[in-house]
Structure 1
Amino acid sequence: METKNMIIIAVVVVIIAILGVVFATGMLNGDDNKNVVTTPFKTDFMEGSFVGKVKLVNDDEKFMHSYRDKNHSITYNISTVDDSESLMDIYELQGVTNPEERSFNGNDWNIYFTQAIPGNDTNSSKDNDTMNIIIAQSQGKKQGYLIYMIIDSKSDVNSTMNTYGQSYTDYMKPLLESITLKKSDDVPKIYDQFGLTEDQFKQQMDMIHDYQAGNMSALG
């Protein structure tokens, strides 16, 4: 009987050891990481990998590229500009506020969640036409970086507008974790993007900052 008990104990020890290896290596985690398809991309200012089968659809501008995940109805627009923080100040007037702050690979990112209705057709203002958008913005000393993840209303991805939703956890977060940011020459000036001179843009931003500080008449 003692020999039999020792054999049983030995078998249990082996099973526990095997389970330890299984849990340590994630072998019981299903297919979460096993069959994830990624698409690498590389530009003059940024490189990394999208989750899913993603195709370049527009690179006419050197510092602005667009990619499309047709299977999941997601569009990614990536760009760089000298001052991305001013751009976000402008977006704040349109209700894009309260970013989540995250750091990946030594880069600090502000993560914004917002929505938009495609086009200017008032008949499109239905809930099922609303696009959910995640904006990731990072500003270096002289160069800012922007990633727009635009999730169509027909997408099969759960686009809950926070960092716990599938669109962020399964798509945006892995993308940010893969990103390498590059310093570029001749980075586009933010004022050029608005068709203004540097002085004109500064005047506009001064009014915006006054408004944000509580002067409601600054933009009047």
Structure 2
Amino acid sequence: MTDLFGDTEPLGPAREDLAPGAVVLHGRALALQDDLLAAVDAVAAEAPFRRMVTPGGFRMSVAMTNCGTAGWVTDRKGYRYSPTDPETGKPWPAMPSAFLRLAAAAAAEAGFPGFVPDACLINRYEPGARLSLHQDRDERDFGQPIVSVSLGLPATFQFGGQKRADPVRKVALRHGDVVVWGGPSRLFFHGVLALKDGEHPATGRTRINLTLRKAL
């Protein structure tokens, strides 16, 4: 996997275990950062970022788009995966090859070989945007892991337990970090604290997060 991840060493340990089945792979996406960001731009040109509405009627602070066979959406009808973009009625853009390569390699390193995602939710955070604690429960097979890629401004990732009230661990995520969780940790609550203002040479005043899943 050295040809994919390269030999750029991040500050601190390259691997940080969070819980059984959950790990942070610091700096693992750095070698693919240009390909990943170019792919995000291509997806957004076809399916623009938008701030979706929750079933309770609240507009999310994080802007989102999707690529792959299915895209995660939320509106007054609920949370679900859809094969088409509700704003255009067209299929979501195809999953970029760089996304697939990174997801498979990171999942294998975390102990989940053979991972082939069919959905990628792309989140764009601007200063002040946050994601409250939640579980990823809309997928059909909880035996498949989640692969989350951080690009741009640093963020504080929250990783809890099976219950919302369980203790929460705070993890500093930087540009190029990849978090993988599955197995015993697959349904752990997680979220992102409000993004602090800043400027990143690759993304400006934003953070981009790729969340790759096997949805169908």
What TM-score does the superposition give when structure 2 sets the normalisation length? 0.27
Higher relative contact order, chain-length normalized (CA < 8 Å, sep 6+): 2
Q: Normalization by structure 1: what TM-score?
A: 0.26
* Structure with the higher helix share, 1 or 2: 1
The structure with more radius of gyration? 1
